[in-house]
A = this chain, B = another copy of it.
């Protein structure tokens, strides 16, 4: 691989500039900002590889940009990525322009650089490096890049139904990943599912003087009471049947967790909290993080939120909630139970809008792709990777891979300080360049 790695080193600054260009294009799916422009950048990147590129459409959905480059050997490896990013808000918490892609102290700062534009570019450049040094690829490579991952991939199921051929592969490399605080690469074998609820409660037809609070119902109170019935302060989700389909992790999966360095307390400190929920420590905290479903308040809004006091009875109240699901919970089942419960509690007039619903998925830890990734990491970095039976996060692994029986593993260029979804999201420039080499080596090893 020396010639391939040399190629990467020679083209390093050019690759960095290309990534910066991509990052400077906002592509905020939640706000409908710049998504089409980002898709065109992806299309051009894929085309530059000489790939067969398709920009697939499904109604008003963001396009699915796909590519296929035939390989010299047997087998097909699919790269799943997304070109959309989370909203950058709250902007006042950023030290760097979220769409400036500034490099500062060896780190590149931008919304989406870790999740996951950096990985998408690293994979494209790995293919380019192989093609430009060897003339062809060891295996067939497919790319699927979607533009709605950060809003729960609402149209990916439809794309998968209408174009199953662009997804079929022998294995899939998932969108993102990173290193732990000691620099060990992390390999991730699953995704949690998700149900995302936007809840609106209406009261009077306009905000009222709060003296009327003695007799006029307050939608903010109604929302608070309803939320307090969804989860109690022992962190138990109270929706009847919520836990019914939670599958016990296999002994093999539990063993992977037990092999992980169990220092979630250190992580807690890094995030600025004193303790984890329920005072959990060690492996118990990790088991809850990876095998437990969640019910989380993402946002609240009602009445007067400005400085000082305003004595007002709000006319509406809003909450955003996400629930992360684990196998074998099903989003349609959970959303139904959620709505039934609210209705039973006298909240049938709440307007619940589901902004995305995703199945959980997990890959067998003994799959071949897991072995290939592990061996690649040992060869390249000289250190055993950490293998996670699942991510604590969500992705459309079911639609992209699990429903086609494709074993899937995630690996990427982020690190424990990458602040994914937060302000000052960043990656190390050197990790980006290493990531290109890593992906080239994975392709070679996968060919056997």
Residue positions of A touching B, CB distance < 8 A: 29-32, 86-87, 89-90, 93, 150-152, 192, 194, 196, 198, 203-218, 220-225, 227-228, 231-233, 264, 268, 271-273, 275-277, 280, 285, 288-290, 292-315, 317-318, 320, 322, 324, 346, 355-356, 391-394, 419-423
Contact = CB atoms under 8 A, between A and B. Distances in A.
A231 B221 contact: yes
Contact of A303 (B276, B292, B297, B393): B297
A213 B151 contact: no
25 contacts: A30-B309, A150-B309, A150-B311, A194-B311, A196-B311, A206-B271, A206-B272, A211-B392, A212-B392, A216-B273, A216-B276, A216-B277, A217-B275, A222-B233, A225-B233, A228-B228, A272-B315, A298-B303, A298-B312, A298-B313, A299-B304, A300-B305, A300-B314, A304-B320, A305-B320
Given A225-B228, A423-B206, A304 B214 contact: no
A227 B222 CA distance: 11
Contact of A211 (B29, B313, B391): B391
A87 B306 contact: yes
Contact of A294 (B205, B214, B227): B214
Contacts of A93: 206-207
Nearest to A271: B204
Say how many copies of this protein the assembly contains.
2
B307 A30 contact: yes
B204 A87 contact: no
B227 A224 contact: yes
Contacts of A222: 233
10 closest Cβ pairs, A-B complex: A205-B272, A30-B308, A228-B228, A213-B296, A220-B297, A299-B303, A211-B393, A211-B392, A309-B355, A300-B302
A159 B231 CA distance: 48
A311 B322 contact: yes
A379 to B, nearest CB: 30
Contact of A273 (B89, B192, B204, B232): B204
Contacts of A206: 93, 271-272, 419, 422-423
B314 A310 contact: no
Contacts of A289: 212, 214-215
Contacts of A421: 207-210, 310-312
